[in-house]
Amino acid sequence: MTTNEKFEWIVKIQKIGNSAVEEAQEENRRRGIPNWYSINGTIVSDQELGALAKKRNSFLVRMVNIFR
């Protein structure tokens, strides 16, 4: 097997794995189960990130409305 063939095989396997992970994450979201990630060595769930984004967005919206 040439280096190019090995690379193509690795890419194919990675695509299969990525697809399976995406499907599992979507299933978790439908069921209300958090997906966990490591961001800069800190373990967080997508639900925590979503809540933080909403809180941050809410703050920014209020600030924009103050200056209108």
Is 12 buried (19+), middle (13-18) or exposed (0-12) by CB count in 10 A? exposed
Half-sphere exposure of 42 (CA within 13 A, CB side): 7
Mean pLDDT of the chain: 85
Over the stretch 20-31, which tens digit does the pLDDT of each residue have? 999 999 999 899
Q: What is the pLDDT of residues 4-17, one digit of tens each?
A: 999 999 999 999 99
Q: Kindly state the helix (H) or strand (E) to which residue 37 belongs, with its residue range.
A: strand 36-39
pTM, to two decimals: 0.62
pLDDT given at position 65? 62
More confident residue, 60 or 31: 31
